[in-house]
Chains A and B, each alone.
Chain A
């Protein structure tokens, strides 16, 4: 089974969860699913992140009782691991729209499904859906996820991966998505806008990483977005 098949089979396996309103696929699989025919050629990780609004936590726990092909990891309580190794791990992450501080992080304690809740995910809004063989998959709006990826402070391979996801989103974004992203960027605190621009600069200078798409051919797009963000900065 190729990666696309593994990804789609995993999403079908958790279909009851994806049926819960406002639950979205987030993270590195979003660019794969935004490609025509869900081509999934922008593979940068071997797991699937699912954004769970804290207001839907109870409904997601109920839906998980109908999932048979995965079970909770004993080591990582918010991760579900597949029974069949051809499927991918699923990582559940909390989203709290009521968080004002995008740098806030907290743990939603729960005996069944505890969640890390990241404030930056409050920028993510549910977007359109794609369907595969009867399973509807809700994706986030590109603009919010792009900003979240450019804000999340990480290092090493994980950080590189987030920046490559951001790059894939830039490549796939329509003009309207970028307009929306610039608008949301203007509402961020100054140090967060600085972090976004610094991460875009780092993305522009990133060397190819084995097993990940080469970012260098897209440097002009990154430069164009940086110019737009600079142009939207408040005048001193």
Chain B
């Protein structure tokens, strides 16, 4: 009986556990940045690209930028914005909620959060 196959799988599982511990230790570095960005998106019902001027206007209204945006290179501004306010952003263009090319190409993003109507 091929028990060696089971031992091989057990070794692979232990190796994956080692990788997971390493990823946790790296969470304040690049690995962690991706996790934080994914976490923001997981909280987001929808994602929009907006113009720099409208993003700045949101900032001047007191809507803070999420810290993870500054960790990216080049930096992005990413803000959670009430949906009623998003509806008044003329430059808004909705993009898929995923870590895809449209999101990564954008410099200014606004997100609508689950559980926040307006």
Distance from B15 Cβ to chain A, minimum over Cβ atoms (Å)? 10
- B35 touches A (CB below 8 Å): yes
- A201 touches B (CB below 8 Å): yes
Q: A106-B10, A114-B6 are in contact. Are A223 and B1 (CB under 8 A)?
A: no
Say yes or no: A204 contacts B6, CB within 8 Å. Answer: no
Most chain A C-beta atoms within 10 Å of own C-beta, residue among B7, B10, B13, B16: B13
Residues of B within 8 A of A204 (CB): 38, 41-42
Residues of A within 8 A of B7 (CB): 107
Tally of chain A residues near chain B (CB < 8 A): 37
How many chain B residues sit at the interface, stated as a range, is 20 to 34
Count of A-B residue pairs with CB < 8 Å:
89
- B97 touches A (CB below 8 Å): yes
A and B contact pairs by CB, cutoff 8 A, 19 listed: A74-B2, A76-B5, A78-B6, A103-B17, A105-B14, A109-B3, A114-B3, A114-B6, A153-B13, A153-B17, A153-B20, A195-B20, A200-B42, A201-B41, A204-B41, A205-B98, A223-B114, A224-B115, A226-B42
**Which residues from chain A sit less than 8 Å from chain B, CB to CB?**
72, 74-78, 103, 105-107, 109, 111, 114-116, 118, 153-154, 190-191, 194-195, 197-198, 200-202, 204-205, 207, 219-220, 222-224, 226-227
